[in-house]
Structure 1
């Protein structure tokens, strides 16, 4: 009864919001049109060319059985680290290459084809939802902050925090009865023998189970990928219009008043309130607005890093739509995004304090200054120029070493946890 009452309340609230948004479009038609055109431009020039080929290739690799064979090879790595099947490495790698929501699309396909349990899908989605390096190095570092070297800072903070989220979610749902039952069934049917032989056999078995001729497989891959791209583009256009309407109508300022008071108490520049709210909705707009605010650089870097890790409600809506036909829940996904954003922002401050962003800028500038000398074909001339360009960047290497140290500590802690867990099981 209480659940039904909450459902009625949410329906009324959503209906009111839809009516208000429709009225806002009638009141501000020009604003909505221009924002929609900007969203379409982003989709046509960036989203479709960059994501569509990855979607098609991933569908082909799934249909041909390559992903399952790839998963068998990487099972010894993914299972101890993150408690997910080896096929999770494919979602991780494609997410790194294409960015979100590529990982959600692949995870949903894994769940639909029974290559992972619901709990494993939720664990996988928690740490594979990452931005692609091209976005952080190109769009954010170069396009927004005009500093290519800051891309290393964003990437280090983003991927290290993502790894830590994956380790933390290793224990998510470990006592779920359905998950345990599916894992036991999978262990019973798991083939034994040489790892490479098993990978080859699993690839052939997956191809036979699919059974579609290559022509039909390619056609289905293209049609399904285009449908997914259109869905993603629609969300981008919709949220671009929503953000612009909220800003023009003044609703964004009203919503941001409590956040402004909190920022003032914490000593954070209040000019970052608007970009924060925009970043909650859409990461590109929030990051771009943050870059132009006359606030301390470290605050802007931390906020942008958190926004990228959070990824915005626009991406969350895309992920939710992709997961519609699965039983994977969104609650752990949201928890992971909060944790990822907090860790990424904190690591950005730490790494920048170690000199990663600052010294990297000096190194890049020195390399650019000595670039004509790099054309010297003699070995001594090249190395003299390289060493001179990289001198004075000790803080950069200290930052990288610190990141590697944190990774090593995480691996040692994970190993200790595994040993303790094995001891407890053996005693039980």
Structure 2
């Protein structure tokens, strides 16, 4: 029996088991599906849609090329990627998963990145956004805005280190870099912007329509993965598979000095970061620092749900998924280590503890976090934005395919 037949049988078995578990646990599957849909409906779609549309427009008008020329002297020596990587990095941090993958894939298709450069770039431009770290995790789950500072510092510092490490990726296989400018030039940047705009033959209306359609199609795909993995995570728990995997993890946690009760939240977080972070915050046997270490790893690893989204986006190009997956493992370990190292000097520091628990002194946010207020606002108006966005998508799709 060759490898291809074994793979076919394995995939068929997994699909059959999944279908059977849906029949065996219909209520649990339904509840998990509603939970995933709610998260996509209220938060993911309305928060990512503007970033996706604006990014498409900026690429089309040549602004990204302009930024790329200016950032070339910074991005090339540090990360061995073109200057346009700076735009992808910034957008990835601001909007969250999987914006970095979508923009990297788009720039690879545009020919602004080589294959190796794209694999380096995608490895450190996918991160959790501040809204989720401060609003959902630190305030929503832990009810402690100060914890968000620790999680954010560890997360983004780990991501920076991943970028620096991944600069060596592909060193022996040939770089094939698209561009290697060594100095910043405003004049050259303006020329590049103008050349890119002239190459774009689509009128503004067509460009905007394409940006909306492409963005919403990507978000629909993301929503499907969120719901799928939310259901899968719940079914694995009720089939005792999560508990079985957690039993094998307990020894490692004890070696690391972490309570074994964190094993099930950790396994759940490997599949879906929101549920894993929430379950970690509910483990009373663990100290806050221990909970923060596990949460940092979960946020950095990003979960198989996000990784499946990235894999689907990268499948449209020749960018390999394995370097991205390896980077997530490294990022998770680094984020956990950074959380442990900075805990005492920052979270338990005298100046930090001079502030009440419901403030964010490092960011000077007053008595309540504006990020938390935005998060709460999104849960209220998010569904309206989602309905409006999908309605626009349906109208544009109908006009292009059925009206001649």
Local SS of the residue matching 2:315 = helix
2:218 equivalent to 1:221: no
The structure carrying a bigger helix percent of its residues is 1
Q: Determine if the alignment matches structure 1 residue 148 to structure 2 residue 145.
A: yes
Pairwise CA distance, 1:136 = 1.0
Q: Does residue 99 of structure 1 match 2:96? A: yes
Structure 2 counterpart of 1:34, from 31, 39, 48:
31
Give the Cα–Cα distance (whole angstroms) in 1 for the partners of residues 91 and 2 of structure 2. Answer: 41
Once residues 328 and 5 of structure 1 are traced to their aligned partners in structure 2, the CA distance between those partners, rounded to angstroms, is 27
CA drift of 1:33 comes to 1.0
Aligned residue in 1 for 2:302: 311
Flag the 1:193–1:347 CA change in 2: closer, same or farther, 3 A: closer
**Are the aligned partners of 2:130 and 2:152 in contact in 1 as well (CA < 8 Å)?**
yes
**2:82 maps to 1:85:** yes
| Residue 210 (str. 1) matches residue 200 (str. 2) | yes
- Correspondence 1:192-341 to 2 at 5 A: 195-294=185-284, 295-341=286-332
Q: Which has the larger radius of gyration?
A: 1
Q: Please, which moves more after superposition, 132-141 or 352-361?
A: 352-361
Equivalent pair of 1:72/1:198 in contact (CA under 8 Å)? yes
Whole-angstrom distance in 1 between the partners of 2:311 and 2:183 = 39
Deviations 1:33-53 (A, max 9, x none): 111111111111101110111
Q: Structure 1, unaligned stretches of length 5 or more?
A: 376-428
Q: Structure 1 residues 64 and 29, CA, compared in 2 at 3 Å: closer, same or farther?
A: same
Residues 127 and 166, structure 1, Cα contact 8 Å, conserved in 2: yes
| Alignment CA distance shift 1:175-1:209 (3 Å) | farther
Paired residues, what number? 361
Distance between the aligned counterparts of 1:135 and 1:357, measured in 2? 23
**Counterpart of 1:363?**
354
The answer to whether the 8 Å contact 2:144/2:358 transfers is no
Q: Name the stretch that deviates more: 134-143 or 77-86.
A: 134-143
Task: Work out whether residues 149 and 360 of structure 1, in 8 Å CA contact, stay in contact via their aligned partners in 2.
Answer: no
| Inter-partner Cα distance in structure 2 for 1:145 and 1:360 | 21
Describe the SS at the equivalent of 1:256.
helix
* Alignment match, 1:425: none
Distance of aligned partners of 1:152 and 1:357 in 2 relative to their CA distance in 1, 3 Å threshold: farther
How far apart are 1:209 and its partner, in Å?
A: 1.9
Per-residue Cα deviation, 1:256-296 (whole angstroms, up to 9, x for no partner): 21112332344321110110001100111101100010112
- Partners of 1:7 and 1:113 lie apart in 2 by 34
Alignment of 1:45-84 (within 5 A): 45-84=42-81
Moved over 6 A (4+): none
Q: How does 1:380-391 map to 2 (within 5 A)?
A: none
Q: Deviations over 1:173-204 (max 9, x none)?
A: 02324x33x54xx45xx7x9971111111111
Contact residue 346 and residue 352 of structure 2 kept, 8 A: no
Query: Structure 2: how far apart are the matches of 1:194 and 1:155?
Result: 31
Structure-2-length-normalised TM-score: 0.85
2:130 maps to 1:133 = yes
SS in 2 for 1:116: coil
Quick one: distance in 2 between partners of 1:235 and 1:366?
A: 35
Distance across 2 between alignment mates of 1:193 and 1:30: 60
Q: Does 1:354 align with 2:351?
A: no
Whether the 8 Å contact between 1:310 and 1:341 is mirrored in structure 2 is yes
1:25 aligns with 2:42: no
Distance 1:339 1:360 in 2: 32
Cα RMSD between the aligned structures? 2.2
Separation in 2, partners of 1:10, 1:363 = 58
TM-score, length-scaled by structure 1? 0.80
